[in-house]
Structure 1
């Protein structure tokens, strides 16, 4: 268990660093002040890599690398790749109803939660100004 946690931690550090560097590179080479190009590029790239990686590891009998590469590295690079993988798994098993529900709840409820967090923190900070 500890070994798996360390693999996830190491992979996460590498993935998060990769996400940062990719975002900096994209922002420098394709500046866009209106659209989060770096985020969407990382999400799409990470999702593509996650799909390819899961098939490769599964077919080669290398699933013991999942903690480091899929959960850790790609999870650190973009959690959207994990979201995409879970959605595909539901679709691949014919559970389109659950896939649609999962996508809808994940996107809509996450945005609502973010708005809620913004509202709560603005209220708290207004009550306790610096």
Structure 2
């Protein structure tokens, strides 16, 4: 009987994790859909939820702070030499810098998220990563 109760609890925990994962994925899809085609979009959260805080068809050179992390999406269109997003952010506190490159939609990765306070230094269009 104890083993059966343990299996039931394990099954319920697994189902709850799957539900949380499904909910997170749904919010990400909904949030990402609010980024217009041809734009780079940045949310001031780590889940792409809601509408982007900053978006542009051009470069974002902002030095903006978000205590809740950031989510960056390259929703650009294929354009050789200018369809990738180069980004840099700085962790706060600490100052560790992270940079990378995001591909256009249909290629991976085309998004990035952080989970702690950061300053987004820039998100700029450029050529192949």
Work out whether the TM-score is over 0.5: no
Q: TM-score, normalised by structure 1?
A: 0.31
Q: Higher relative contact order at CA 8 Å, sep ≥6: structure 1 or structure 2? A: 1
Structure having the higher helix fraction is: 1
Q: TM-score, normalised by structure 2?
A: 0.31
